[in-house]
Amino acid sequence: MYLGQVSTDEVFGSLVDQMFALHDRVRSELRALCGEIGLTDAQIGVLWRMAAEQGRDVTAGQLADRLGVDASTVTSLVDRLERHDVIRRVTHPSDRRAKILQLTPLGCELHDRIGDYRRHGSPFAALTPAEQQQLHELLSRALGTRAQPVVTSHEQQSGGQG
> Are the C-beta atoms of 106 and 86 separated by less than 8 Å?
yes
111 φ, ψ (degrees, to nearest 5): -60, -45
Distance CA 152, CA 129 (A): 10
Residues spanned by the domain of 38: 10-121
pLDDT in tens, 147-156: 655 544 444 4
pTM (2 decimals)? 0.67
> Are the C-beta atoms of 142 and 135 separated by less than 8 Å?
no
> Are the C-beta atoms of 115 and 51 separated by less than 8 Å?
yes
Find the angle CA(57)-CA(139)-CA(70) to the nearest 5 degrees: 40
pLDDT in tens, 37-77: 788 888 888 887 877 776 778 888 888 988 888 989 999 99
Distance CA 101, CA 60 (A): 7
Q: Residue 146 domain-assigned?
A: no
Q: Residue 91 domain-assigned?
A: yes
Domain count, the chain: 1
pLDDT in tens, 83-140: 999 999 999 888 888 889 988 899 888 888 888 888 888 899 999 999 999 998 988 8
- Between helix 41-52 and helix 105-116 the angle, nearest 10°, is 80
Q: Which residues contact 161 (CB under 8 A, 6 or more apart)?
A: 155
Q: What is the CATH classification number for the domain harbouring 43?
A: 1.10.10.10
Distance CA 70, CA 75 (A): 9
